[in-house]
Amino acid sequence: MSQILDIAPLRSFVTVADTGGFQRAATSLHLSQAAVSQHVRKLESATGAALVERHGRGSRLTADGERLLAQARRILALHDETLRSFGRRTTEAVVIGSTEHAAAQLLPHLSAQLATTLPDLHIRFRLDRGTKLREGLAEGRVDLALLLGPTDDQRATKVGDLALTWYAAPTWQRPAAPSPIPVVAFDQPCALRTRALETLAENAIPAMVNAEAIQLAGVQAAVGAGLGVALMATLGQTPEGLAPRPDLPTPKPLPLSVWSRQGLPARTAAPVAEALRQLLSRQSLFPHYPEVEYAQGA
């Protein structure tokens, strides 16, 4: 009986190989690290070979482990395909992280589309700061993350650009030059904060950060209180109690990318990226404001 290759241990083993460690595999599979370790030991007992060895802070496969990995992927693929042929679903949990920017508009559409294209996935969303989501990807706690900013990373797949809009309280009055424009911004690091200050600087408009917040609700509250203007990615949906400010210089859009954790199968990441591309290609999602000339001293 000890020479049986059970499905659950094989799935744990493949996940260890894909994520690079026992703890990351445990997090991805929603198991304890002890359970994953026990699964690998069970496979080593069945094969009579050491399959995983320590490597720095993580783990790597031995030569025998690499041999088993190729066969394990085939076994799991056939196992899942067989269940599907009988109309049985093999549920896989996927955690999709997103920053708060435009999440209210993006995630409902994304969730509805993935329910059709990836019905076998149990999808859980997590909203957090970009730095925390990147840490989650590295540690295996997040499978996919929707992030704004640079895409020069092999884990990132650009899906489109998010138009950015200036917002202020309806009664906010722009200070006369040379007084700086007060800006409400997220704490550093933040791609929106950087783009806001860069946009004003490129147009020779003095600015100062007048209020900071760590969450979108805090930024919107500060703007609504008249503490300054903020640059937001809202996909054309004006936040309640705020008003767009087309008299300020138009900022360049920010790229939106889907980041994948190490080892995540392309069959899972690709539909998410494609769904977002389709959403962002719909012109109705973007604001359309008439051309407005802005004056530096307005």
pLDDT above 70 coverage of the chain, percent: 90
Q: What is the predicted pLDDT for the residue at 10?
A: 93
In DSSP notation, 193-240 reads HHHHHHHHHHTT--EEEEEEESSHHHHHHHHHTTS-BEEE--TT-PPT
Crossing angle, helix 130-139 and helix 22-29, to 10 degrees?
A: 110
Render pLDDT for 150-172 as a digit per residue (tens, 0 to 9).
777 777 888 888 889 999 999 99
Q: What is the predicted pLDDT for the residue at 104?
A: 67
281 vs 213 pLDDT, higher one: 213
Q: What is the predicted pLDDT for the residue at 287?
A: 42
Render pLDDT for 72-118 as a digit per residue (tens, 0 to 9).
988 988 888 888 788 766 666 788 888 877 676 678 778 888 878 77
Q: What is the predicted pLDDT for the residue at 282?
A: 65
What is the reported pTM?
A: 0.64
**Domains of the chain, each with CATH number or no CATH:** 7-85 (1.10.10.10), 92-161+254-285 (3.40.190.10), 165-244 (3.40.190.10)
Q: What is the predicted pLDDT for the residue at 226?
A: 94
Cα(220)–Cα(191) distance, integer angstroms:
17
